[in-house]
């Protein structure tokens, strides 16, 4: 692999390459679009935000002498009169993974400059995200009807509600913003902004399919956070 | 310059099979982690299975869907080393919540 910014400069592979890249002039992340590098830095900071939420949840749950509400009972849903544990959460998980898969394929087709497939897959991802948010709204309203509040609930430890609304709310907010951008980018793909290399908003940068990968990184991160929330909040 | 650009684009696409495999694996792993709750496994078995499936899923998403497997180590290392800070924070807060629980039990129920 050669550095696209310096002609004739050959990049070293492996850990030697890491040392050379880190100690080199100009750019540290060789061959990586600056937008992609900045998205990764943003996601790193977002990782810390979500980690702080989940760690405070761990601390809150671990330090209360009152019994914690059993999530597989609290989040059970009646299907044909039989309570199925975590039914809605399981469906939400599968919906989010499906949308993550379509996003990965959208990135692939974007790099192949396959406008139609890329556009439809981004749109499918957006619809998956919208379904997820819709189910989360249903879950929230169900719990609020059952009397779950940030300061107390009928099932057990009072801290349950505040952690639940804070963590899933922040994640749902991320999904909502992602859905908004997915719709915008689906429009941009179909309108041919990436093929014509049209100028974007508030920037002199020409549009490129790498933007689909950058959006994809954000979307996969939302899925990644859900993996941790699913494990620690719903299954634990 | 145009030549190198073209080469760059080529290296960024991967065969569709790898994505479909990872997608399928994520479905299977999610199904397994749901089964942990379905069969009501308890104790260490439950926690270790939850963590095992969680890290496997997270690793697959990061490595293949987010392309970290194909990125240069300069980027990968910048992203993964900070996770050790989070691990440290977790250990600190585990010690903290044990102490808080201890003092609460001591003062609420034993009365100091």
Within 10 A of A73 (CB to CB), how many other CB atoms are there?
Answer: 11
Per mean pLDDT, which range of A203-207, B11-15, B41-45 is the poorest?
B11-15
Instruction: State the distance between the two ends of chain B, measured CA to CA, in whole angstroms.
Output: 75
Give the pLDDT of residue B17: 87
The answer to whether residues A27 and B28 touch, using CB atoms and an 8 Å cutoff, is no
Q: Name the fold adopted by A33-235.
A: 1.20.120
Q: Cβ neighbours of residue A35 under 8 Å, at least 6 residues apart?
A: A205, A210, A211, A214
Confidence check: pLDDT of B8 > 60: no
Q: What is the mean pLDDT of residues B11-16?
A: 71
Interchain pair A65, B104: CB under 8 A:
yes
* B47 contacts in chain A (CB < 8 Å): 236
Average pLDDT in chain A: 90
Looking from the CA of B7 toward its CB, the CA atoms found within 13 Å total 9
Interchain pair B89, A51: CB under 8 A:
yes
The percent of residues above 70 in pLDDT, for chain A, comes to 96
Q: What is the mean pLDDT of residues A179-192?
A: 94
Q: What is the mean pLDDT of residues A45-58?
A: 96
Phi and psi at residue B62, to the nearest 5°: -70, -45
Interchain pair A28, B27: CB under 8 A:
no
ipTM: 0.88
DSSP string, A157-174: -THHHHHHHHHHHHHHHH
The answer to whether residues A35 and A211 touch, using CB atoms and an 8 Å cutoff, is yes
Q: What is the mean pLDDT of residues B63-84?
A: 91
Q: What is the mean pLDDT of residues A3-16?
A: 74
The answer to whether residues B16 and A108 touch, using CB atoms and an 8 Å cutoff, is yes
Distance (Å) from the C-alpha of residue B70 to the closest C-alpha of chain A? 11
Interchain pair A65, B105: CB under 8 A:
yes
- Please name every residue paired with A63 in a beta bridge, in sequence order, or none if there are none: none
Give the pLDDT of residue A207: 83
Give start-end residues of each CATH 1.20.120.80 domain in chain A: 33-235
Instruction: State the distance between the two ends of chain A, measured CA to CA, in whole angstroms.
Output: 45
* A48 contacts in chain B (CB < 8 Å): 82, 86
Domain boundaries in chain B? 2-71, 82-112
Tens of pLDDT, residues B23-48: 999 999 999 998 988 888 888 999 99
Confidence bin at B6 (pLDDT 50/70/90): very low
* B19 contacts in chain A (CB < 8 Å): 101, 104-105, 108
Alpha helices in chain A (DSSP H): 14-22, 34-63, 71-74, 87-111, 115-145, 159-190, 210-229
Interchain pair A108, B66: CB under 8 A:
no
How many A-B residue pairs are in contact by the CB < 8 A criterion? Answer: 160
């Amino acid at each position: 692999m050669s550095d696209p910014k310096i002609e004739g400069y050959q990049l070293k592979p492996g850990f030697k390459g890491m040392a050379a890249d880190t100690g080199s002039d100009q750019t540290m992340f060789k061959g990586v679009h600056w937008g992609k590098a900045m998205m990764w830095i943003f996601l790193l900071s977002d990782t810390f935000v979500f980690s702080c939420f989940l760690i405070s949840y761990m601390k809150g749950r671990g330090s209360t002498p009152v019994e914690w509400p059993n999530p597989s009972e609290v989040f059970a849903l009646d299907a044909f009169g039989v309570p199925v544990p975590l039914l809605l959460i399981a469906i939400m998980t599968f919906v989010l993974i499906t949308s993550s898969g379509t996003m990965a394929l959208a990135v692939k087709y974007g790099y192949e400059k396959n406008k139609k497939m890329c556009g439809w897959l981004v749109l499918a991802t957006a619809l998956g995200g919208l379904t997820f948010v819709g189910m989360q709204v249903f879950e929230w309203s169900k719990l609020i009807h059952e009397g779950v509040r940030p300061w107390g609930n009928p099932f057990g430890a009072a801290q349950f509600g505040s952690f639940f609304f804070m963590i899933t709310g922040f994640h749902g907010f991320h999904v909502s913003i992602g859905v908004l951008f997915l719709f915008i980018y689906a429009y941009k793909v179909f309108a041919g902004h990436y093929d014509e290399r049209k100028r974007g908003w508030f920037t002199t940068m020409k549009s490129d399919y790498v933007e689909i990968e950058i959006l994809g990184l954000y979307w996969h991160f939302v899925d990644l956070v859900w993996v941790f929330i699913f494990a620690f909040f719903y299954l634990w | 310059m145009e030549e190198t650009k073209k080469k760059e684009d080529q290296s960024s696409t991967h065969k569709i099979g790898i994505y479909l495999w990872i997608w399928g694996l994520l479905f299977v792993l999610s199904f397994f982690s749901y089964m942990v709750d379905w069969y009501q496994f308890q104790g260490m078995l439950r926690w270790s299975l939850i963590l095992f499936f969680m890290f496997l899923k997270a690793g697959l998403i990061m490595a293949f869907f987010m392309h970290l497997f194909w990125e240069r180590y300069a980027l990968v290392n910048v992203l993964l080393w900070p996770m050790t800070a989070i691990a440290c924070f977790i250990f600190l807060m585990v010690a903290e919540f044990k102490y808080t629980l201890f003092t609460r039990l001591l003062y609420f129920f034993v009365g100091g």
